[in-house]
Amino acid sequence: MTSTDPPDPEPMLTRADLSQSDPDEPAPHSPFPIVGIGASAGGLEAFSQLLGHLPEQPGMAFVLVQHLDPKHESHLPELLARSTRMPVVEATDGLPVEPDHVYVIPPNAELAIEHGRLQVIPRSETAARHLSVDHFLRSLAQEQQMHAIGVVLSGTGSDGTLGLCEIKEVGGITFAQDEASARHSGMPRSASECGCADFVLAPDAIAQRLAEIGRHPYLSAAPVSEEEEDAEEEFRNILATVQSVTGLDFSHYRDTTIRRRISRRMALHTQPSLANYVRLLCEDRSEVEALYRDLLINVTSFFRDPEMFEALRERIVPQIVESKPHSEPIRIWVPGCSTGQEAYSLAMMFAECLDGRPYRPPVQIFATDVSDLVSIEKARAGIYPTNIEIDHHGRVWATECVNYRKYMDLRPEGDRVVIGNRSQYREGQKVQAKEVAPMNSNGGGAS
């Protein structure tokens, strides 16, 4: 029998759903989105196009970090003002950030944001490269969390990639300009190849997406009614769909984090309700896989926990080395390896401890993850952005370790890093390791 009753209203997404308090994660300082935009050569043209396609009052603030000649006066504010009716001003130290305003970095300075105010720091005299885009985007990620938006436009090099990755890790939204429209594709290509860009688009399309996403409850500062239907069934349907495709059950993960990650994916697709998003997942397997990658939250970096690595270097690693016969390999298992930085960090640490010894056992590191194959392949390749520099106890590894896989090939015979998907080991392959490095996982061992 067909019911004549009207269908129940779909549970609509509200800010109450998205902003459930989590004592472990700081709240954004500003209630409106702040868009950090990094650019170098060709960036003026790209940002002008982006500004020209935004609505007059997009409800967000824009901060442009452009590579500038430190010895010349900047005319960026006047040039950009031709493309928008929003006020365009050069950043000054302590300037509060307001919505529907554009702020531009001054020459010979670094820019950051703290407590809703811009911080202008005079650029230091140093031979090292100034990664001004990364510097600002990282501070924006820390300040704004899920209200942070990062954009990398035309420019050479790879500045901005690491900052964009940090914004994505905290739940923000990220863009890179597509190569076809970029006058210089180095910066946006680096961000895209690193996998940290949610969208790769031309400047006018970036503007359109920003306008759409800015109105979504995930980012919108507008008040939303707290009256809504119970969305638990749709939430369970989403987790069940992910499990049916990937084999992983996320029902025991932290609830607030999972809901926030789902909400982020909904914002990327401007889906207004959980029911709509469930339908999208049923129709589009690629979105199920994208949600799966977001839920895994691959947060990792080289020597990510300095105190932990210091304890390993001072106490644990020497103990392992001293206890090993010269002919017997040291075997370490790194579970939850994500994109591989932790495994290579351990390889460098053992190399530091063993170099110079007349006899040394081989070091074999087995790194595994349930992560998607994209992350696993990145770990296997061992290639990371060229602006990663690691000064570990006085040793700068950047010049020899941009390609960490190549670095491992130069190590003594027997040393190796093996990266694999955890499912390989579920089916009979065992990791013969006694020591575990569980920094990104709930478990993990070397022998």
Q: Is 305 strand, coil or helix?
A: coil
CA pair distance 241, 249, nearest whole angstrom: 10
Last residue of a domain, one of 154, 187, 214: 214
- Residue of 159, 178, 369, 415 marked active site: 159
Let me know if residue 139 belongs to a domain.
Answer: yes
Let me know if residue 14 belongs to a domain.
Answer: no
Let me know if residue 267 belongs to a domain.
Answer: yes
Residue 269 and residue 182 share a domain: no
Residue 325 and residue 292 share a domain: no
305 has catalytic annotation: no
Give first-to-last CA distance, the chain, whole Å: 66
Which is higher by pLDDT, 21 or 411? 411
Closest CA to 86 of 98, 94, 74, 75: 98
For residue range 128-157, what is the model confidence (pLDDT) as tens digits?
A: 567 899 999 999 999 999 999 999 999 998
What is the CA angle 321-327-328, rounded to 5?
60
Let me know if residue 23 belongs to a domain.
Answer: no
101 has catalytic annotation: no
Last residue of a domain, one of 253, 271, 296: 296
Residue 443 binned pLDDT confidence (cut-offs 50, 70, 90): very low
Residue 76 binned pLDDT confidence (cut-offs 50, 70, 90): very high
Residue 267 and residue 168 share a domain: no
Let me know if residue 6 belongs to a domain.
Answer: no
Residue 376 and residue 258 share a domain: no
Let me know if residue 25 belongs to a domain.
Answer: no
Residue 132 and residue 80 share a domain: yes
b/e string for 295-317 if b means 16 or more Cβ within 10 A? bbbbebbbbeeeeebeebbeebb
Let me know if residue 82 belongs to a domain.
Answer: yes
Residue 133 and residue 169 share a domain: yes
- Residue of 67, 135, 147, 216 marked active site: 67
Which is higher by pLDDT, 351 or 390? 351
Rounded to the nearest 10 degrees, what angle do helices 232-246 and 255-268 cross at? 80
Residue 320 and residue 290 share a domain: no
- The model's pTM: 0.76
447 pLDDT above the threshold of 50: no
Considering its fold, how many domains does the chain have in total? 3
Structure tokens given for 241: 């769909």
For residue range 242-283, what is the model confidence (pLDDT) as tens digits?
A: 999 988 888 888 788 888 899 999 999 999 888 899 999 999
Residue 58 and residue 137 share a domain: yes
Element of type H or E holding 103 = strand 102-104
Q: What are the residues facing 335 on neighbouring strands?
A: 368
Which is higher by pLDDT, 289 or 401? 289
For residue range 220-243, what is the model confidence (pLDDT) as tens digits?
A: 644 443 334 557 888 889 999 999
DSSP state of 67: -
Residue 426 binned pLDDT confidence (cut-offs 50, 70, 90): very low
Show the DSSP H helices in 145-225 as ranges: 161-169, 186-194, 203-214
40 has catalytic annotation: yes
Pairing of strands 61-66, 102-104: parallel
Q: Is 29 strand, coil or helix?
A: coil
Structure tokens given for 410: 């130069």
Tell me, what CATH number does 206's domain have?
3.40.50.180
What is the CA angle 401-341-188, rounded to 5?
75
206 pLDDT above the threshold of 60: yes
CA pair distance 267, 167, nearest whole angstrom: 15
175 contacts 203 by C-beta, under 8 angstroms: no
For residue range 39-71, what is the model confidence (pLDDT) as tens digits?
A: 999 999 999 999 999 999 999 999 999 998 877
pLDDT for residue 331:
86
Residue 202 and residue 109 share a domain: yes
- The whole domain housing 314 covers 306-436
Residue 68 and residue 106 share a domain: yes
Last residue of a domain, one of 270, 296, 322: 296
Let me know if residue 13 belongs to a domain.
Answer: no
Residue 310 and residue 289 share a domain: no
Residue 209 and residue 88 share a domain: yes
CA pair distance 46, 275, nearest whole angstrom: 37
Structure tokens given for 100: 């529907």
